[in-house]
A and B are shown apart, each in its own frame.
Chain A
Amino acid sequence: MKYALPLFRSEIIKLKRSAVWYILLLGVALTATGVFVGHLLDAHNMVKINVDPWDRYFRAALAIFNIFIVVPYTVLLVSAVIFVEQRANAWKYLYTLPFPRGRFFLTKWVLVALLYLVSILFLLTGVILSGYLLEFLRPEYEFSYYQPQFAYLMQEMGHFFLASLGLIGFQYWLSLRFSNILVPLGIGVFGFVFGIIMSVTNQKIALYLPYSLPMIVRDFDMFRNEHIQDSFISGLNNVEVHSILIGLAFLLLGYWQERNRKVE
């Protein structure tokens, strides 16, 4: 713990004026604005008797985020955070400091995971606020007759987070392994496309592909996967468990590699 706080605080300083914040805001704004505009212009589908508009709204936001945003967003976010170090060629400075090498690796991973969580919280806030704005602009949608199910939204986001850990772990390892940012970004773009294809065409492979896991973890009528089942951990399905295990494997691999990195 004695290393954790100073290292984490220094990580925050490094992000000052960096592209990471723009990426974070862009991912959130893109989703919230897209859902908001879509619903603003789609009165025909929204006005339905005895259907909770909040539920429809939240499900639409989650589906857009998970299917179209989460993978490219994660790839960009992780690459941008690590690129801060790669661009500065900071390893020769960092690894001559009085901290074990592994601490830098773990602190940065925690930072990436926290940024991801923060973006999810921002997204929740953005979706809820845009929902209230929609209520104001379109009273006929009858948002005011229902209470938003925040607990449901939080729970769904928790599932997405767990299903993204494999992707975060893999992209984190890639970004550290290759100093050229185009490599993790390029692999991420191909992974995104490949993930969509596998989610549609091969449900079994999709269960083990970090790029597919966040897309298939919840059923939004697009990538329904018949092989998803409860796991041995209560409350988690096999997609989330695979994601955690993949994330852990790349975390351990990266940790070992960083401890033995030759700083040339």
Chain B
Amino acid sequence: MPTLEVQNLHFSYQRRHPILKDLSFSVPEQSIYGFLGRNGAGKSTTIRNILGLLRPKQGHIHIFGEDMKQAPRSIYRRIGALIEAPSLYPNLSAQDHLRLACRHQGVNEQRIPSVLAQVGLLAARTKLSRHYSTGMKQRLGLAMALLHEPDLLILDEPINGLDPQGISDVRALLLDLQQQGKTILLSSHLLSEIEKIASHVGIIKDGTLLFEGDQGALRSWKQGQQQLEIRLNDPEQAKMIIPADSIVQQDGQRLILQQMDEKAVAELIRQLVQAKLEVYEVKRLTSDLEQLFMEINQHEVS
């Protein structure tokens, strides 16, 4: 049973302007699920729907197997959330914030120092949050989400504002939490980060899920998406040799062809040379996750 399951979610702020369209995905237990999408793709809106901050027009959200429409409020004790910039009271210190969270979550205050140490804020625990840098605020938000040791962590862009060391620390922390059996839903527009820690990936565009699977599925899918680029002197003559349905795009002397195996590539080159065409360059267009992300945002998966 997945820890979190979203089924056919529809949401809009205004009529006729849907933000989420039939969105479905599931976050397996003890996974780090990277929820990827450009700014405005619908990531934060999805998370707000999951957490009950917004009410979906249609669809179901199940957490720990419970339908969130009927689930008791106590289910929130098993969830820790950080949504974009954390909600901090400028007149309170990190220690005060965690005391507040202890009251809310019914946690003993003795846990405060260890959580502050976990996010690297122990030394700055008495400093007022209004004097914190963006990265420190983010760490404090993370500490508040972790304080009650939730089974499911929902983090919306948690590394925003962190320096490279901070990003590395958070990455290590999340991997450690996963090892402890926690499930993490992590939204981000930074693909390189997701690639480094996520066990599963969902990619959202305009409120619709374009891809979902584990890292292995993503790699296979990526290989299936590889294309071939040929640069030659007369593309128009070449187009009479190459099957029309193989041609993806023409750009001057360059032809972009659909992915094909090595033998098919060799045969194609032989035919072009026999037709007295001058072939200047043949190369595979390799796409890393970053490039893939750009591609699937430009061309919807068929």
Contact = CB atoms under 8 A, between A and B. Distances in A.
A88 B83 CA distance: 13
B100 A14 contact: yes
Contact of B53 (A16, A87, A95, A98): A95
Nearest to A10: B103
A2 to B, nearest CB: 10
Given A92-B83, A262-B53, A262-B55, A14 B104 contact: no
A13 B99 contact: yes
Given A92-B53, A96-B53, 19 more contacts: A13-B96, A13-B100, A16-B96, A17-B91, A88-B89, A89-B85, A90-B89, A92-B48, A95-B51, A95-B52, A96-B51, A96-B76, A96-B83, A98-B73, A98-B104, A98-B105, A99-B104, A262-B53, A264-B48
A204 B79 CA distance: 54
Contacts of A99: 73, 104
Interface string B144-165: 1000000000000000000000
Nearest to A9: B103
B92 A16 contact: yes
Interface residues of B, number: 32
Q: Most chain-A CB neighbours within 10 Å: which of B74, B89, B105, B128?
A: B89
B19 to A, nearest CB: 11
Contact of B76 (A84, A97, A263): A97
A125 interface: no
Interface in A58-102: 84, 87-100
Interface string B33-52: 00000000000000010011
B75 A98 contact: yes
A6 interface: yes
A88 B88 contact: yes
Sorting the interface of chain A by its residue count into under 10, 10 to 19, 20 to 34 or 35 or more gives 20 to 34
A57 to B, nearest CB: 37
B86 interface: yes
A201 interface: no
A18 interface: yes
A226 to B, nearest CB: 47
Contacts of B99: 13
Contacts of B128: 17
A92 B10 CA distance: 20
Contact of A98 (B74, B83, B96): B74
Nearest to B74: A98
B96 A6 contact: no
Contacts of A16: 91-92, 96
B116 interface: no
A11 to B, nearest CB: 9
B283 interface: no
A89 B51 CA distance: 16
Contacts of B90: 87-88
19 contacts: A13-B99, A14-B92, A16-B92, A17-B128, A84-B91, A90-B87, A90-B89, A92-B48, A93-B87, A93-B144, A95-B53, A96-B51, A96-B53, A98-B74, A98-B75, A99-B73, A262-B53, A262-B54, A264-B54
B140 to A, nearest CB: 11
Given A14-B100, A263-B54, A6 B106 contact: yes
